[in-house]
Amino acid sequence: MQLDWTTFLLQIVNFVVLVWLLKRFLYRPVMDVIARRREGIEKALSDAREAEAHAESLRQDYERKLAEQDRAHAVEMSRLGDEIATERVRRMAKLEAELACERERHAALADKQVTEAARKAGDEAREAALGFVSRLLGRLSGPELDRRLVDMFVADLADLAADQLAALREAAGAPDASLQLSLARPLAAADQSRLEAALAATLGRELPLSVTLDESLKAGLRVGIGPWLLAADLADELAFFRSGARRGC
């Protein structure tokens, strides 16, 4: 078998041309496609890693915020619990104070009621005693008692304080000054004369005298001169005793 070198060379040339053509028009495009696919895959992997990192960051941030919220919620619940406890203590203290005030008020009211009842009972007892004394003195009143009251009045005139005596004499010095004598019953002539003489000596001058009868006096007399009133009668003495006893309570 003989080797045809021409054919062999032509086949080699054909093979080289085929390899060049394949490399030129098939291998490079395929490699370019493979390179682009690799770049796309790498970019997708990079994007996936970035997305995964971003998701991990979001997850960590969410967990951090959730933990902060839990801590803030715990702090708020603790603060709320403290406020509730403080408010409860404050309200209990206020309630205790109100109850104490109410107890004190009830105690004061009870004391006031007891005091008022005792005062009322005392007033009733004094009224009864004064009624009895008034009735008794009314039965005992007469010329002898009137005479004794005149004696008491004359003695009181002699014991007047200097300022009172000066005020009475000033009233008696008025141009239109006069005496108004009120009696429970007419006096004996000697007793009335003694009374007028004592008044003239006390006032430093004699004044016109008008006499009226007043049964409410029970016994005794009243003498008015200007704005002043002098008295020695059972009605005033009993009234003074009643009012004085009440003020003493």
State pLDDT tens for residues 158-190: 888 888 888 888 988 888 889 998 888 888 888
What is the domain count for the chain?
2
Confidence of residue 29 (pLDDT cuts 50, 70, 90): confident
Residues 25 and 85 in one domain: yes
DSSP codes joined into one string, the chain: ----HHHHHHHHHHHHHHHHHHIIIIIHHHHHHHHHHHHHHHHHHHHHHHHHHHHHHHHHHHHHHHHHHHHHHHHHHHHHHHHHHHHHHHHHHHHHHHHHHHHHHHHHHHHHHHHHHHHHHHHHHHHHHHHHHHHHHHHH-SHHHHHHHHHHHHHHHHT--HHHHHHHHHHHTSTT--EEEEESSPPPHHHHHHHHHHHHHHHTS---EEEEE-GGGSSEEEEEETTEEEEEEHHHHHHHHHHHHHHT-
Pick the last residue of a domain from 66, 97, 113: 113
Tell me: do 154 and 94 sit in the same domain: no
Q: Are residues 101 and 28 in the same domain?
A: yes
| Residue 125 is assigned to a structural domain of this protein | no
Q: Are residues 100 and 6 in the same domain?
A: yes
Q: Are residues 89 and 171 in the same domain?
A: no
Same-domain pairing of 183 and 147: yes
Q: What is the pLDDT of residues 185-218, one digit of tens each?
A: 888 888 889 889 998 998 888 889 899 888 777 7
Domain that holds residue 178: 141-247
167 part of a folded domain:
yes
**Same domain, yes or no, for 191 and 237?**
yes
One domain, residues 21 and 106: yes
Residues 91 and 171 grouped into a single domain: no
Same domain, 8 and 101: yes
162 and 239, same domain (yes or no): yes
Q: Are residues 91 and 149 in the same domain?
A: no
Query: In terms of pTM, does the model score above 0.75?
Result: no
